[in-house]
């Protein structure tokens, strides 16, 4: 007895115990159940066929070989496994490839790049806001710009080996597109946009936390900060310390006042500086302290 017949028999039994008056409805219900089960099986077969056709519709020579290598690297290095490979494919499809393969009806990565750009800016902004609680808005903005600019993101893309997998048209390939910073920057943002759509903010954030944030914390972008912040970052690498700036003297008329500042770490003098305001004098003291520490 087939599974469908068993299901029909189970469905009919309660009705068969009743009077003959309900036999006709039972027959109708039985026919309906058979039709429903048949439809369900047909629909499941259609879904399976559709999935197969989806990946056979636009066969790209060598593409799945590339995707297999890329997905393997993503899994091994970042524990990332895409649910929708079409998003991953789109992220690595440059507009030049689409233009030279119009018959394949592919989508390039420009829309994903647009999304990834916004997602990345939010992640970096949030990270800097928490990492540097005393850094003013202007400095945070300058540092964020340094992290997400073209040359920085192109380097991150190369470190992830994304340049090896992007699909380019012949013209773009021959003109050196695979090493072009602007293209690699867009590729990195497109991948992030695809990852965000596929698995959400947390997984995308974990990827950026692994690829970008360690470099920020290590001081790769410290030249974008003021000297006081950089000094604090350097000194706190080995643990919490108490940094204090002390005004030791000030001279001159009110409109040409000069201030002298000393900077101490746990009551130990490490630098001195002067300036036309206390803030400028503190910056000078921090700069001199950094220079002394580097000697």
Statement to judge: residues 272 and 155 lie in one domain: no
Question: Looking at the predicted structure, is the pLDDT value of residue 56 above 50?
Answer: no
Statement to judge: residues 194 and 149 lie in one domain: yes
Mean pLDDT of 155-163: 97
Question: Looking at the predicted structure, is the pLDDT value of residue 39 above 70?
Answer: no
Statement to judge: residues 88 and 217 lie in one domain: yes
User: pLDDT category, 50, cuts 50, 70, 90?
Assistant: very low
**CA–CA gap between residue 219 and residue 270 (Å, rounded):** 20
* CATH code of the domain containing 265: 3.30.160.20
Statement to judge: residues 235 and 218 lie in one domain: no
CA distances from 153 to 80, 88, 148, 190, 291 (A): 19, 18, 6, 11, 30
User: pLDDT category, 46, cuts 50, 70, 90?
Assistant: very low
Could you report the per-residue pLDDT of 193-233, keeping only the tens digit for each?
Answer: 999 999 999 999 999 999 999 999 887 887 676 788 889 88
Statement to judge: residues 120 and 248 lie in one domain: no
Of 56, 82, 98, the position where a domain reaches its end is 56
- Residue 67, pLDDT score: 60
Question: Do 157 and 245 touch, CB atoms closer than 8 A?
Answer: no
Return the minimum-mean-pLDDT range out of 7-16, 168-177, 255-264: 7-16
Of 172, 206, 222, the position where a domain reaches its end is 222
Statement to judge: residues 74 and 90 lie in one domain: yes
Mean pLDDT of 249-259: 88
- Residue 219, pLDDT score: 78
The domain total for the chain is 3
Please identify which residue in the block is written with the tokens 């026919």. Answer: 31
Question: Looking at the predicted structure, is the pLDDT value of residue 15 above 70?
Answer: no
- How much of the chain exceeds pLDDT 70, in percent? 77
84 vs 38: which has the higher pLDDT: 84
pTM, full prediction: 0.61
Could you report the per-residue pLDDT of 57-88, keeping only the tens digit for each?
Answer: 434 443 544 568 899 999 999 999 999 999 99
Residues known to be catalytic: 117, 189
Residue 8: give the domain boundaries. Answer: 3-56
Mean pLDDT of 185-190: 98
Q: What is the mean pLDDT of the chain?
A: 82
Top-confidence range, 94-108, 126-140, 215-229: 94-108
Return the minimum-mean-pLDDT range out of 33-42, 45-54, 121-130, 158-167: 45-54
283 vs 126: which has the higher pLDDT: 126
Statement to judge: residues 40 and 118 lie in one domain: no
Return the minimum-mean-pLDDT range out of 91-100, 109-118, 249-258: 249-258
* CATH code of the domain containing 119: 1.10.1520.10
User: pLDDT category, 41, cuts 50, 70, 90?
Assistant: low
- Residue 270, pLDDT score: 96
Statement to judge: residues 89 and 12 lie in one domain: no
Question: Looking at the predicted structure, is the pLDDT value of residue 21 above 90?
Answer: no
Of 204, 222, 240, the position where a domain reaches its end is 222
Could you report the per-residue pLDDT of 264-277, keeping only the tens digit for each?
Answer: 999 999 999 998 88
Statement to judge: residues 209 and 137 lie in one domain: yes
């Amino acid at each position: 007895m087939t599974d469908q017949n068993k299901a029909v028999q189970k469905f009919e039994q309660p009705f068969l115990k009743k009077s003959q008056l309900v036999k006709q409805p039972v027959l109708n219900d039985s026919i309906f159940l058979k039709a429903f089960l048949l439809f369900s099986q047909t629909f499941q077969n259609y879904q399976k066929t559709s999935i197969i056709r989806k990946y056979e519709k636009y066969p790209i020579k060598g593409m799945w070989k590339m995707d297999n290598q890329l997905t393997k690297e993503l899994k091994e290095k970042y524990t990332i496994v895409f649910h929708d490979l079409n998003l991953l494919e789109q992220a690595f499809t440059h507009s030049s490839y689409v233009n030279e393969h119009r018959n394949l009806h592919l989508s390039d990565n420009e829309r994903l790049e647009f999304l990834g750009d916004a997602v990345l800016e939010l992640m970096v902004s949030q990270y800097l806001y928490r990492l540097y609680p005393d850094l003013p808005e202007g400095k945070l903005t300058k540092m964020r710009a340094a992290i997400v600019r073209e040359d920085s993101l192109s380097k991150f893309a190369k470190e992830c080996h994304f340049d090896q997998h992007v699909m380019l048209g012949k013209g773009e390939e021959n003109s050196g597109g695979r090493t072009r910073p602007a293209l690699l920057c867009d590729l990195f943002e497109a991948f992030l946009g695809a990852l965000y759509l596929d698995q959400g903010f947390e997984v995308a954030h974990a990827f950026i936390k692994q690829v970008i944030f360690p470099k920020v914390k290590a001081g790769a972008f410290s030249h974008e900060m003021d000297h006081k912040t950089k000094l604090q970052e350097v000194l706190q690498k080995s643990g919490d310390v108490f940094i204090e700036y002390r005004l030791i003297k000030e001279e001159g008329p009110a409109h040409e006042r000069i201030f002298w500042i000393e900077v101490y770490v746990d009551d130990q003098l490490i630098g001195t500086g002067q300036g036309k305001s206390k803030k400028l004098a503190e910056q000078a003291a921090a700069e001199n302290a950094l220079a002394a520490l580097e000697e």
